[in-house]
C-alpha cells in the first residue's frame, strides 16, 4: 500500500532561503525523482564511505541489533525516515523475517518512485512481509501514524541524515521525534564520525561530478516547478570542511554577477560574482558530541554499534 502526502512548502522555503543573507536552500528538497537517482550514483562511489560503513555494521551486527530492538513476542513497527532504496535496512528486515518476528515495516520517503520501487522489491524478496510505504514529510506522517497505531515503534534515521541539520534544527527534529514516541519506543540513528579531512572531502567533492550534479539538480527543480531561469553552468559546486567543528558544507558559487527570475514567486534574485548558496550541511560527530546531543534532547543511549574502522556509528536511544 502507498499513501501520498502532498508537499506544499517548496515554494515558501525556496523564497525564504534565497531571500536570506547569506542565501541557502533546504537539502530536504534534493530528493525528487532525478535527485534520488543521482544519490544512488553517489552511494556507489568508492569515495563515499558512509554507505559501506553502515552496511558493514548491519551485516556484522545484525543479530545484536535485532536482540536490542526486540522483546519476546512483542510486535513492533519499524519506521524508516528517508528510506531510499532500503539497501541497508534489507539486512535487518531479513533477520526479522528469518526469525519470524511479528513486525510491520513503514518506509517513508519524499520520492514516490523510490517508495513504489522499494515496496515492490521487498514484497518480492520477503513474501508475506507487512509493508506500509508512505510518501511525504516525516513529521506529518509520523503524527498520522501515532494517532492510529500504538504498537511499539522503532524509528530508523540512518545514513547520517541527522548530520544535514544545524544544532538548533537537530534538537528541534529530535524533540519532534520524541513527541510521537512512547515509553518502550526506540530511536536508531546513524552518525558519521570525525576522521581524516581528506577522506571526508573526497566523499563530498568527488571526481565523478555526482555531488555537483546532485546540488545543481535542486536548481533545475526550481526551474521546472517554480518557473525559474537558473542557468546551471553559471554556478559551481564547492565543498569546505572544518575538522574542529566537524562541519562539512556544500555550496554553489555564482561564477558571475547575474539575476535569476522565479516567475511563480514573482521574485528576482540577484547574485554577485563569488556569492554562494549554502546547499547542505554534513555534520560529523565524536562520541562526546553524540552523548551530549542525546542528553539535551531527552534521550539516553542504550548501545552504540561501530564499523571496523570506526568511521561510522549507529546509536540506539530510548526516552529518559
Q: Is 49 left (phi over 0), alpha (psi -120 to 50) or beta?
A: alpha
Determine the pLDDT at residue 71. Answer: 75
Burial pattern 84-97, b for ≥16 Cβ within 10 A else e, equals bbbbbbbbbbebbb
Q: Is 209 left (phi over 0), alpha (psi -120 to 50) or beta?
A: left
Determine the pLDDT at residue 1. Answer: 40
**Residue 212: C-alpha distances to residues 22, 27, 123, 144, 181 (Å):** 20, 13, 34, 36, 37
Supply 63's cell numbers: 543479530
Chain centre distance of CA 197? 22
Determine the pLDDT at residue 70. Answer: 85
pTM attached to this predicted model: 0.88
Q: Is 25 exposed, middle or buried (0-12, 13-18, 19+ CB in 10 A)?
A: buried
Q: Is 191 exposed, middle or buried (0-12, 13-18, 19+ CB in 10 A)?
A: buried
228 DSSP 8-state letter: B
Supply 229's cell numbers: 531561469
Cβ count near 43 (within 10 Å): 18
Q: Is 47 exposed, middle or buried (0-12, 13-18, 19+ CB in 10 A)?
A: middle
Per residue in 209-234, pLDDT (tens digit) is 999 999 999 999 999 999 999 999 99
The CA distance from 4 to 110, in Å, is 9
CA-wise closest residue to 126 among 89, 79, 155, 158:
89
Q: Which domains does the chain have, with CATH numbers?
A: 49-195+286-319 (3.40.50.150)
173 DSSP 8-state letter: H
Ordered alpha helix ranges (H), 185-286: 197-204, 210-226
The CA distance from 320 to 318, in Å, is 6
Would you say the C-alpha torsion 94, 61, 311, 45 has a positive or negative sign? Answer: negative
Determine the pLDDT at residue 146. Answer: 73
CA-wise closest residue to 312 among 28, 48, 102:
48
Per residue in 54-99, pLDDT (tens digit) is 999 999 999 999 999 987 678 899 999 988 888 899 999 999 888 8
The CA distance from 1 to 284, in Å, is 36
Supply 282's cell numbers: 554534513
Determine the pLDDT at residue 28. Answer: 86
Residue that the C-alpha cell 513492533 belongs to: 76
Determine the pLDDT at residue 148. Answer: 65
**Residue 206: C-alpha distances to residues 79, 126, 237, 272, 296 (Å):** 31, 35, 11, 26, 35
Residues in the chain predicted with pLDDT less than 50, given as ranges, are: 1-7
Amino acid at each position: 500500500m502507498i499513501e501520498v502526502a502532498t508537499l506544499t512548502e517548496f515554494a515558501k522555503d525556496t523564497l525564504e532561503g534565497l531571500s536570506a543573507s547569506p542565501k541557502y536552500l533546504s537539502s530536504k528538497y534534493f530528493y525528487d525523482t532525478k535527485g534520488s537517482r543521482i544519490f544512488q550514483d553517489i552511494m556507489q562511489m568508492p569515495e563515499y564511505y558512509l554507505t559501506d560503513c553502515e552496511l558493514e555494521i548491519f551485516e556484522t551486527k545484525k543479530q545484536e541489533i535485532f536482540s536490542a530492538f526486540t522483546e519476546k513476542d512483542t510486535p513492533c513497527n519499524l519506521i524508516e525516515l528517508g528510506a531510499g532504496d532500503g539497501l541497508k535496512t534489507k539486512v535487518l528486515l531479513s533477520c526479522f523475517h528469518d526469525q519470524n518476528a511479528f513486525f510491520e515495516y513503514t518506509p517513508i520517503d519524499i520520492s514516490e518512485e523510490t517508495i513504489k520501487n522499494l515496496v515492490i522489491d521487498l514484497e518480492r524478496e520477503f513474501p508475506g512481509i507487512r509493508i506500509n510505504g508512505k510518501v511525504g514529510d516525516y513529521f506529518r506522517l509520523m503524527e498520522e501514524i501515532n494517532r492510529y497505531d500504538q504498537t511499539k515503534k522503532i524509528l530508523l534515521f540512518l545514513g547520517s541524515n541527522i548530520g544535514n541539520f544545524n544544532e538548533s534544527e537537530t534538537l528541534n527534529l529530535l524533540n519532534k521525534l520524541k513527541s510521537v514516541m512512547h515509553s518502550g519506543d526506540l530511536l536508531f540513528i546513524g552518525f558519521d564520525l570525525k576522521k581524516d579531512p581528506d577522506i571526508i572531502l573526497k566523499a563530498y567533492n568527488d571526481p565523478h561530478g555526482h555531488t555537483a550534479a546532485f546540488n545543481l539538480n535542486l536548481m533545475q527543480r526550481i526551474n521546472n516547478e517554480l518557473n525559474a531561469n537558473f542557468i546551471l553552468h553559471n554556478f559551481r559546486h564547492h565543498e569546505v570542511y572544518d575538522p574542529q567543528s566537524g562541519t562539512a558544507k556544500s555550496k554553489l558559487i555564482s561564477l558571475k554577477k547575474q539575476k535569476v527570475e522565479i516567475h511563480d514567486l514573482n521574485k528576482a534574485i540577484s547574485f554577485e560574482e563569488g556569492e554562494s548558496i549554502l546547499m547542505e550541511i554534513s555534520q560529523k560527530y565524536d562520541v562526546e558530541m553524540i552523548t551530549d546531543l542525546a542528553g539535551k534532547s531527552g534521550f539516553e543511549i542504550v548501545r552504540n554499534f561501530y564499523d571496523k574502522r570506526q568511521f561510522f556509528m549507529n546509536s540506539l536511544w530510548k526516552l529518559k
